[in-house]
Structure formats: C-alpha cells, structure tokens
Structure 1
Amino acid sequence: MNHALSSSPSRSCRTIGDADFYKFREFFHRKTGIFFDDNKRYFVDKRLLERIEATRADDFRSYFISLRFEHDGKELQQLVNAMTVNETYFLRESYQFDCMTRDLLGELIRHKPRGERIRIWSVPSSTGEEPYSIAMQLLQQWPLIDSYDVEILSSDIDTTVLQAAQRGIYSARSVANVPRPWLDRYFTKLADGQWAISRELVAAVEFSQVNLSDPADTRRFRDIDIVFCRNLLIYFDDMSRRVAAEALFDALRPGGFVCLGHSESMSRITSLYRVRRFADAMVYQKPLDGEAP
C-alpha cells in the first residue's frame, strides 16, 4: 500500500468555513466568555485546525460534534489552553503595585483589626508573573507585611499556564524589569540562562483554575480585599464583561478594590463600583456598607 495516499483529508487541505467559524465562536463564547472578533479569524482557524489534527478528527464537523458531547471536558480544556493568549512579564504596569502598597492597603487596614487576614486575588494568573510580582512588592515595599496575614490567590482558565506558574521558570525577557536586588534575592539563574523563582514565593501563592463566566467557579471566592484583573476583559463582549464585573463585585469585601488594565474601564461596564483616583493609579472600589456607588 502506498502510505502517502489516504482517504481522510490532510491537514493542509482542511479549512474552517464561515458558518463553522461563527458556530464555533458562539460555542466558545458561551463556554468561556471570550469573544473572537472577525480580525482574530486567522488565529482561531489555525488553533482549531491544530486541535482537529491532534484529535485525528476527519473535519471540523466531526470534531465539533465530539467536542460538544464529550463527557469529561478534556478536549474542551485542551482547546481553551490553545485559544488563550498568555503574554506577560514581571512588574508589568508596576504603578498599580505601587498604588497597592502606598495607598490601597493603608485604607483597607483602617477597617481591619491588626492581624486579620488580607486577601489578594490575581486573575488571570497567566504563567505566574503577576501574583509573584504582588508577593515581591509586598515583601519589599510594605512595611507592615509582618503584622498581617496576607493570602495571595491566583486563577486562570488555562491549566497549562497554571502548571507553568507552579514550575516558576522564566526567561531573561520575563525578568528584565525586576530590580537587581530582588532578582538576587528571589531568583536563581539556571545554566540555560533562564531564571527559577524561589520556592518560598511559589508556596506563598495558591493557584486554582477559574472560569470568570461560570458562577459555580467564582462563588467560592469571597471576602477578597484587592483584585488584579488586568487585560482580560478586553477579550470579552459586553455581556460577558458585565457577568465578570458582577462576579468580582460579589467576591470583594465592602471597601475592596479592583485594578484593571490601563485600556480597560469598569465605568463602561457597570455602575456598581466607585472610581478612586490615587497618586499612582485609578482603581475601582466596592462601596462600604451604606455607601452609594
């Protein structure tokens, strides 16, 4: 038999038609809250064809049918991992970390007994640069760190990046903004030029998988003091943004804060939050009990 011949279409011959793209886009949006504009078509098609090839499905139709009716959700998770973008680095938009240690924490602890736990949630975690940046900022820049029990939670929908975050191995590019004293204290340079973060910091962060569009996932997060949710909502449509904003609101303690990415605005999504302007950053606050937004 000539093994170069096959009755099933080769990967190079497979295509995603317009109707299939729109069908998939609606399904993925419903499952994750992420909405792909038409200008993402090439990216979506490429990743879909890779998953069709990996699962040995004959075509989009057979792949999509098996995806919709699978019982364990494993292929859906593989697809989510393939479709999410995780480009980040340490101390990204560091002015918000400065705002946290200079202003937000000081305001929060005025309403807390000394020694009461402070809870900070980073979502999405990506490969861990943000939650570990939060941990370093607290250790290096907040004088009261030893007086409070601080819990750092970090979540992502992508299981692959959560595993990478817990491994804690980073490129030279990823750590380029880390001050040299912090780099020497919290990282070890490896033989291949990468950097391993200290296991002390890895142990300081509790990682978990969360889909912000799924109430069953988000309702377990409560009494959060500060949420970093940066550069995620730009991938959602208006309805999914509202769902996510309300989920974060429910997760916060009264008086708690949300930090968004520089191009994002909670005011365009919901009127639940108060806008707070500090010297370093603008953030969004859940009103204290009895306060109006």
Structure 2
Amino acid sequence: MILTLSCPDRHGIVAAVSSFLLARDANISDAQQFGDASSNTFFMRVVFEPADGDAQPAIRDAFAPLAARFEMDWTLRGGEPRKVMILTSRFDHCLADLLYRWRIDELPMQVTAIVSNHPRELIGHVDLGDLPFHHLPLKAGDAAAKAEQEKTLLRLIEETDTELVVLARYMQILSDDLSRALEGRCINIHHSFLPGFKGAKPYHQAHARGVKVIGATAHYVTADLDEGPIIEQDVERISHRDTPEDLIRKGRDIERRVLARAVRRHLEDRVLLHGKKTVVFED
C-alpha cells in the first residue's frame, strides 16, 4: 500500500506514522519525506506491506484520527492500476510510447480509452489493438461545438471512472471549466522548457532566439495556459546548425521520455501538489 500526506510541519510526524504502522504489524519497504521551510509544510510518501488480513478500509479508518491530529491532507491506495484516458491529435509519438510502456508493464495503468479530435485512420502509426477509440471532432472557431465536445469528453471520463487524463500532444486548449474539473488529474506535455516559449510553435520560437538547449515540460493542466504545476522536465543541447525541423525531431525524443516519467510518477503516487509547485519523490 502507498500512503502519501502533507501537513503543517511539526515534531513527531514521522514517529507517529511509523508507530501507527508498527502497531499494525505492517512492514515499511520505502519511506521518503521532505520539509519545506518556506511554507512550513511537511510531505511524506510511505510504501508498506500490511499484515495478513489487515484490509485497506480498516487501515484507513484507524489512521483518520492521527491524520486529523496533524491536519493531514492524505491518501491511501492499495497500488492497483489507475484508470487512464489518453487524448491525442495527429502527432502520435507520445501516444505510441505510452502504449508501448503500458504493454511491457512499465506503466501501472488501465487504459480506459483513446480520444482524438482526428479520425482513427489519421493515427496510423499506432497499434491501438482493441482499446476503445473515440473520435470527438472540433471545428476551429466554433465555440458552441467546442463546449458540446467537452461535455461529451467529460461525460466519457465520468462514465469510465477515469482517474487520470493524459494530453499526449493533444493540440487543443481545454476550456477553463474543463481544466478546473480535471484539476490535479490531467497531465500535459508541452514541447518546450517552460516557463519559456509558451503557446504554439515553441521550437520555431527557440530557433528564432538562437537557444543552445531545447526541452520539454510535463505539467498538470490548469485554467492558466502552460502555467500548471511542473512534474518533469528535460533538455538537450543544440547548435546553430540545427534547423527548426532538427529541433522538432530531437524534441520528439525529449517529449516522449518526459511525459512517460511524469505519468509513471503520478501513477505511483510520487507527486504531491504544493500550490503552484509539486514535490516529486524520486524512485
């Protein structure tokens, strides 16, 4: 099981959690913690094996008074695969990579559906197998159609009990309402090293500025475009010889690995939100 928590920092939190698990004869296999002095906030992630017969509901009920005493914001999960929906457009490299990692059991998730604003035949390089596919088209500049499309999308998310939505180069801006509905459970890959080069064509922006490194950023989606809490980033050096097309080619590799790392860390409860930032416990 995985216990994550954040609370006001004070003496005795680690001892209290450890003593609680010891009293229930649980075995801790991994524990990480971090205290943020600037906000006086404590963060912790504990992986443990419960004693035989000790069920998750019973542990949850027993832990609740301790959590209340320390004013914890906490979660307890059994490690079961999360339900994930992947949204994509015509760029299929991130989708292909996620599905490959899922098929080799690198990503502990259950794919509820693949959704695209383009028909399935335009995602021809990806083997979707028998995964449910939904074509939810959009017409540029049609606000009413966009609102209806997002209603359909949100209904699909709710009907499938989807816990995480991944924007795998889904080249559409979510509305403020949908962004708020998916707060903390929607990850986007931005093909730039944020906060620089936001919006469209960041590689062309980077080329025009003569940058020496390019990168990609995986972040949670918020109503503020490309401003959500950052989960993972990576970069690669480039030179004056690289064209915008070279940057796009090199960027695809960065985008794939950055998104995969961000999704895996979310699925493994390694990411704790902290205002506009995140605390990410490494593996």
| TM-score using structure 2 length | 0.35
Instruction: Give the number of the structure whose residues are more often helix, by fraction.
Output: 1
| TM-score using structure 1 length | 0.34
